[in-house]
Chain A
């Protein structure tokens, strides 16, 4: 089992959720985060001139899937969230040792 953490542009969240839903990936956790990458900060207007905001609001989407389907999910994320411009975000993938469904106590793939 793999955990996919995708940090994406906030405005892409609805489209991504819809595409993932359509492919059967209904479960996910979404967090509003702030961060920076190559884009660094952005300039916002003050009453005169501007000031730099160093961390930009983004959305982090987390889902845990079967190892075999990781590439499929990555493909979906890339197709929805890539605009080709700096600031599109990143995807991190890591292994998950165990999953437990709290309601039933089921473990492993059955619990996904």
Chain B
């Protein structure tokens, strides 16, 4: 039975989440050097149209189609055949199946765009397109099926991931680390100034992400109800707590950095994502605040190790998603969501264990498959542009345009 309020909210949420992918482009674009600003915006925008097409053809059925042994969706819904205006009660009983399909498309689109931060300023655009399409097929669709698909093996285990802390952020974060190790450092890393091209653009990206995240988490209730409101409240709270903590850490170091608070807000949004449908606002303060400290010090460590994971996708999304997923096992309460489970603080240590297993499996799977995929693409077509193309910048060398 279709509910018009639920359908309206999911459609609005879909639009909000779609906006997040170009927002990632602005967030990242402002952080790279001016000579590769457009290329960075372009790669995120390309995720939007590339994965939109792939999702309709094969992505949706591989992620949510009738399960094959809990590992991958069957091909029954290839090209969206059989996905129509009637609801699919397995996923959302009060909205058209097509609404659920497009809402989920937005998540599949934004996830590979997050990885872009790890290889900016040195990847061939063609190699990026190959990487993104194959990564979605080999990593995102399987993990989305494991955690969210009916019959998926991690879902059957009892894993909780309200809006994608594991499916989106852990997969993207660990993939980012893997591909950064394969592609190598930018020329001049650690020596030249890697001056951010436009910090206001970073802030515009961050606030659009914050705005879009209300759809990301609130929409994941798949209904216009109290749970959706609760998810939006904890989302805002965690983002704010993380930005605040980041500001303090930055200030203790030297000055309260604008780039820092924008990053902090995004880290808070990442961390609350898996927990957003299961925790109360005070838990959200703890989840966001602790996430900021974890990601901050992970960036410090990453810089000490001199790994050019250029825009810290691993530190922000990998670690933020990992912490948020584990925190779900600590702070989740059935008082917030009866369909969820109680966490450690509410007397159920079992959930914490399931969450740790889920995150560990996802992280290891994403890292290994991405490392192999990136290595293979590098061998066959080459991931990196030539030295001269890199020095000139990707805007000119890949797109013949300037920002």
A residues whose Cβ falls under 8 Å from a Cβ of B: 43-54
A47 near B257: Cβ-Cβ < 8 Å: yes
Nearest A residue to B264, CB-CB? A47
Partner of A47 from the list B193, B195, B259 (CB cut-off 8 Å) is B259
Q: In the bound complex, how far is the Cα of B257 from the Cα of A43, in angstroms? A: 12
Is B2 in the interface zone, CB < 8 Å from A? no
Give the dominant DSSP class at B's interface: helix
User: What 5 A-B pairs are tightest by C-beta distance, nearest first?
Assistant: A45-B257, A48-B299, A47-B263, A47-B259, A47-B260
Rounded to whole angstroms, the CA-CA distance of A51 and B296 in the bound complex is 16
Query: Is B8 at the interface (CB under 8 A from chain A)?
Result: no
Contact A51 B194 (CB under 8 A): yes
Task: State whether the Cβ of B361 lies closer than 8 Å to any Cβ in chain A.
Answer: no
Evaluate contact between A49 and B303: CB separation under 8 angstroms. yes
A contact residues around B299 at 8 Å (CB): 47-49
Binary per-residue interface labels of chain B (188-207) against chain A in the complex, 1 for a CB within 8 Å, 0 otherwise: 00000111100000000000
Query: In angstroms, how far is the closest chain B Cβ from the Cβ of A17?
Result: 29
By the criterion CB–CB under 8 Å, are B260 and A45 in contact? Answer: yes
Contact of B193 among A48, A49, A53 (CB under 8 A): A53
Give 14 pairs: A residue, B residue, CB < 8 Å, sorted on A.
Answer: A44-B195, A45-B250, A45-B254, A45-B255, A47-B257, A47-B259, A47-B263, A49-B253, A49-B299, A49-B303, A50-B254, A51-B193, A53-B193, A53-B195
- Chain B's closest residue to A44 (CB) is B195
Collect the chain A residues with CB atoms within 8 Å of residue B312's CB: 47
In the complex, which residues of chain A have a beta carbon less than 8 angstroms from the beta carbon of B187? none
B300 within 8 Å of A (CB atoms): yes
**Bound state CA distance, A57 and B182, in angstroms?**
37
Closest approach, in angstroms, between the C-beta of B121 and any C-beta of chain A?
15
Q: Is the CB of B259 within 8 A of A54?
A: no
A45 and B259 within 8 A (CB): yes
Taken residue by residue from 58 to 74, chain B's Cβ proximity to chain A (1 for < 8 Å, 0 otherwise) reads as: 00000000000000000
CB distance from B259 to the nearest CB of A (A): 5
Bound-state CA distance A47–B316 (Å) is 11
| A57–B250 CA distance with the chains assembled, in angstroms | 25
Residues of chain B with a CB closer than 8 A to A47's CB = 31, 257, 259-260, 262-263, 299, 312
Residues 246-286 of B, flagged 1 when their CB comes within 8 A of A and 0 if not, give 00001001110111101100000000000000000000000
Whether A48 and B255, one on each chain, are in contact in the complex, defined by CB atoms closer than 8 angstroms, is no
Q: Which residues of B contact A48 (CB under 8 A)?
A: 250, 253, 260, 296, 299-300, 303
> A45, A48, A49, A52: which has the most chain B beta carbons within 10 Å?
A48
Please give the distance in Å from A86's CB to the nearest CB on chain B. 20
Who on chain A is nearest to B312 by CB?
A47
Q: A49-B299, A51-B195 provided; 12 other pairs, C-beta below 8 A?
A: A45-B259, A45-B260, A46-B257, A46-B259, A46-B260, A47-B31, A47-B260, A48-B296, A48-B300, A49-B253, A49-B300, A51-B194
B200 to chain A, nearest CB (A): 15
B window 301-318: CB within 8 A of A: 303, 312
Query: In the complex, A13→B262 CA distance in Å?
Result: 33
